[in-house]
Structure 1
Amino acid sequence: MRSSQPVLPGWLTYMISVAFVFSGIAVVVFAYFTFRVMLNRPLNPLEESVAAVAGVDLSLGQSGPSNVPTLVPGQPTPTLIPTSEPWAGEDRVNILLMGIDRRPGEAFISRTDTMMLVSLDPATETASILSIPRDLYVLIPGHGRDRINTAFVYGSAGNNPVGGAALAMQTVEYNLGVPVNHYVLVDFTAVINGINALGGIDVNVPVAINDPTYPDMNYGFDPLFIPAGLNHFDGAMALKYARTRHQDNDFGRAARQQQVILAVRQKAAALGFTGLVAQAGTLYQQVENGIRTDLSLEQMIRLATAANSIDSEDIRNDVLDFDYVSSHRTETGAQVLILENDKAAVLIQELFYSE
């Protein structure tokens, strides 16, 4: 009986083995130097503390959501001082994620038309996401009542996005009664480039989207149609899906934005740690100009690690829609939304205070 011969010559097998070993070493070295560069290059170039707005005190002594304070004519509006400590990676952390309505060539200072409060608890391996409508009429510390999406602009006086982020965090904490530890600001380009760097995302579209007046990047129109069912989106289409609202309303848009966030998490989890490390340099280069955050790289790695350990069924997400808000017309005729505290308090307790 003839003995079986090796499929590949011995010298070729040896060379392939050597190449495999060296490629593995190269990936590790590449990842090391990539993270070294990232550690020495903060995402927030201003390098200022979140506590950039003076005279603001968030130590309200609350164990849960409170009633929205009533603005008394002739009396000063509340001013606050942040008290949140940097996240060490073990306790629950609440992060305000804000999408900047900024087109190419425009300044970073703009309205935060997307606001989500994201909470992650490593101890219980659970997470929560709450979308806050941009037209929510709230007390902005030091500025009186206005739409919540203007807080960032108010605080960014003097071209200071750190101050804007701080005031937005304080406004959310003051009106919803939820401590906010950190912030992430993201513009259109970061969403597009980041999702492209991941290879796109898969999203199940429940109802076909037909938006003939979808806005383009030059304040014109770019008619949009997305069929119902499972769709694979590149970055540009994912952004369109997250921004379109003319077919329904801002609440529908908020739900779609949460879909995109969860789809990005799912794609990142599917790549695994090795895949993410291999793409770390590309991802950073693609999104660095469109993101501002007070999270350090170490904290972001901890967040990513903790998020990947959470099962999908342990992520709760909701929207402050008409179950929790009501329409209101201001004295100047502006149409806004008012938080119904008794209803919202139950939801906020479940999302951000339950063990």
Structure 2
Amino acid sequence: MSFHVRQLQQEKRSRLKPLYRFLAASLTMAKPIHGWYLLWSKRNAHQKTRKKRVVMLKKMLLILISVLTVCILIAATVRGMVSMGLLNIGTVTSIAGAELPRDQYNQFNVLLLGQGDADHDGKDLTDTIIIASLDPDISKSAVLVSLPRDTYFLHTEKMAKGKLNSFYRDYKSHLIYQEGIDPEDAPAEALKEIGNEIGRKLGIEIHHTVNVNFSAFIEAVDAVDGINIDVPYDIKDTQYPDNEYGFETFELLKGEQKLDGITALKYARSRHTTSDFSRSARQQQLIGAMAKKVKEEGHITDTSFIASMLQNLSKNMESTMSLREMIGLASLAKNIDRNRIITMQFNDRNALYDGFIEPGGFLYAPPRNLFNGTAVLLPVSIPEFPVTWEQPKAFIKLLTNARKVYLNRPVLNILNNGAAPGSARKLATELIRYGFSINDIANADLESKQDKSILFGNNESKEILEEFFKSILNIENGLPPEGLPIEQQEDITIILGKDFNYQPIKSLL
């Protein structure tokens, strides 16, 4: 007997399975796109941070120009007052003979502060803070180090804890309203204590403090009815910084131009080339043009000009320096070679967050909830705890006392040939933090590992560089190992052997 088997009910196809397959395929495709997006976001954030730093560097250089210009005008004003009989010969002799104090290394250190105008939001907040260390005699160089305005001091000797940019405003008010100091004397006292406190934190003797706003530069140019400048090329800067970390367009045509104060300010600040410091020629040109006009075109014998100039200085600059010392600063600055200026900025690109490291990366941003929602920066204090300023202090010590090495701008290779894995990267990160350029981090292309670490130089400053890095790293100098490829050798090459034990530079000084 035959029979047939038939399906009583057809199996239903699941409508979800194709959807699951589609979602799985979409996720597979989206994974690299998501990775690309994260990489793009990281790079974009890095670029924005760099743009902000460029703005700060421009402000940093502009403050220095303002101070030097004001010094030149002070000197010119004094000469004019002499020619008009307003100052006698005895006074002039004492003014001309003024000398600035020096530290044990024969360097003069001044704190430069920059703030907005009187009608600017946040009056008396010093948003630009620069330490300038001048060595006019031996190296004829200047070291400029900028501190971010959000730098936070947890403890001070006389002032309350707080952000660096608020100390001048708050301590000046304290002196006036709490201690009863004359309002005319309080600014100088506040500036002096800020200089002392920063000096204590960074281990450097600050001799004087100068506080200016950008109106000092603008009004100085306008006081001489503008200056004539031979503009060497057409300028169209579409990224001229405004006051809100944004940009506007600044244009100036090639050839002879008469610049008013605002235009001269933009000419000084404009970034027309790829280098942040290539504007130095234009800045020197402006200072020279100012000095020439004051000296040669008769303004100095004009009583109304002198009155205007003194009024400008009184409105836009405060200082702990006397008139004699300001003239001494103008004279001292002439001995500084503009090609021998070292610029650094403390920042939070410290390799702790995302692997990025920059020179001066000694700060970090703690959680805001610890500071009532305020963004602040503290010094990296690993392995020390609690917070200390030992590492920034070591950085300042090297910058100011080993400036010959920094002026040589050595390039380094760090090679591993026996040390623990990652040792070369660790040391390179530390050296970059202290302002040195690293070309290559790699394993040494040698047949056998070595027991002892060595370093050796490969340029005309070999002896100076070898001695310096030997002293700060506790690694002996020697000859290049036989067989080391020439492409692995740089101005200074450091080869890490089995004896290498990483320590922060601060611990080795």
TM-score range, shorter chain: 0.5 to 0.7
CA separation in 1, counterparts of 2:165 and 2:89? 31
Give CA deviations for 1:246-289 in whole Å, capped at 9, x if unaligned. xxxxxxxxx97x88898555533466689558666465453332
CA separation in 1, counterparts of 2:283 and 2:88? 21
Give CA deviations for 1:96-138 in whole Å, capped at 9, x if unaligned. 111123334999x711111111111222222111111100112
Task: Determine if the alignment matches structure 1 residue 268 to structure 2 residue 287.
Answer: yes
Q: How does 1:297-312 map to 2 (within 5 A)?
A: 297-312=323-338
Q: Any idea what SS the aligned residue of 1:309 has? A: coil
Residue type of the alignment partner of 1:335: A
CA separation in 2, counterparts of 1:264 and 1:227? 17
Residues 228 and 152 from structure 1, CA distance in 2 versus in 1: closer, same or farther, beyond 3 angstroms? same
Q: How does 1:132-171 map to 2 (within 5 A)?
A: 132-138=147-153, 139-157=155-173, 158=176, 159=183, 160-171=186-197
Q: Any idea what SS the aligned residue of 1:154 has? A: helix
Deviation at 1:88, TM superposition (A): 4.5
Where does residue 14 of structure 1 map in the other structure? Answer: none
Where does residue 30 of structure 2 map in the other structure? Answer: none
Number of aligned positions between the proteins: 267
Where does residue 55 of structure 1 map in the other structure? Answer: none
Q: Any idea what SS the aligned residue of 2:216 has? A: helix
Task: Determine if the alignment matches structure 1 residue 87 to structure 2 residue 100.
Answer: yes
Deviation at 1:165, TM superposition (A): 0.7
Task: Determine if the alignment matches structure 1 residue 199 to structure 2 residue 227.
Answer: yes
Q: How does 1:1-355 map to 2 (within 5 A)?
A: 30=80, 32-33=82-83, 87-88=100-101, 91-104=106-119, 110-124=124-138, 125-138=140-153, 139-157=155-173, 158=176, 159=183, 160-196=186-222, 197=224, 199=227, 208-209=238-239, 214=243, 224-226=248-250, 234-237=260-263, 264-269=283-288, 276=295, 281=306, 283-321=309-347, 322=349, 323=358, 324=361, 325-330=363-368, 331=370, 332-340=372-380, 341=389, 344-354=392-402
Whether the 8 Å CA contact 1:112–1:149 is kept in 2: the answer is yes
Gaps of 5+ in 1: 1-26, 42-85, 216-220, 245-254
After TM superposition, the structure 1 stretch with the greater mean CA deviation from structure 2, 288-297 or 276-285, is 276-285
Residue type of the alignment partner of 2:135: D
Whether the 8 Å CA contact 2:127–2:165 is kept in 1: the answer is yes
Deviation at 1:30, TM superposition (A): 3.7
Whether the 8 Å CA contact 2:135–2:336 is kept in 1: the answer is no
Of Structure 1 and Structure 2, the greater helix share is in 2
Taking structure 2 as the reference length, the TM-score comes to: 0.43
Residues 36 and 173 from structure 1, CA distance in 2 versus in 1: closer, same or farther, beyond 3 angstroms? farther
Q: Any idea what SS the aligned residue of 1:348 has? A: helix
Residues 146 and 265 from structure 1, CA distance in 2 versus in 1: closer, same or farther, beyond 3 angstroms? farther
Residues 140 and 336 from structure 1, CA distance in 2 versus in 1: closer, same or farther, beyond 3 angstroms? same
CA separation in 1, counterparts of 2:279 and 2:88? 26
Q: Any idea what SS the aligned residue of 1:116 has? A: strand
Question: Alpha carbon RMSD of aligned pairs, Å?
Answer: 4.7
Whether the 8 Å CA contact 2:238–2:247 is kept in 1: the answer is no
Whether the 8 Å CA contact 1:190–1:287 is kept in 2: the answer is yes
Whether the 8 Å CA contact 1:115–1:133 is kept in 2: the answer is yes
Identical-residue share of aligned pairs (%): 21
CA separation in 1, counterparts of 2:232 and 2:367? 36
CA separation in 2, counterparts of 1:195 and 1:177? 37
CA separation in 2, counterparts of 1:342 and 1:134? 20
Residue type of the alignment partner of 1:177: G
CA separation in 2, counterparts of 1:191 and 1:329? 38
Whether the 8 Å CA contact 1:117–1:130 is kept in 2: the answer is yes
Larger radius of gyration: 2
Deviation at 1:298, TM superposition (A): 2.3
Residue type of the alignment partner of 1:328: P
Whether the 8 Å CA contact 1:148–1:171 is kept in 2: the answer is no
CA separation in 2, counterparts of 1:161 and 1:28? 24
Residues 167 and 240 from structure 1, CA distance in 2 versus in 1: closer, same or farther, beyond 3 angstroms? farther
Q: Any idea what SS the aligned residue of 2:168 has? A: helix
Deviation at 1:195, TM superposition (A): 4.2
Deviation at 1:156, TM superposition (A): 0.3
Deviation at 1:225, TM superposition (A): 2.4
Whether the 8 Å CA contact 1:151–1:167 is kept in 2: the answer is no
Whether the 8 Å CA contact 2:100–2:328 is kept in 1: the answer is no
Deviation at 1:172, TM superposition (A): 0.9
Whether the 8 Å CA contact 1:155–1:166 is kept in 2: the answer is no
Taking structure 1 as the reference length, the TM-score comes to: 0.58
Gaps of 5+ in 2: 1-76, 92-98, 177-182, 301-305, 350-357, 381-388, 404-509
Whether the 8 Å CA contact 1:99–1:187 is kept in 2: the answer is yes
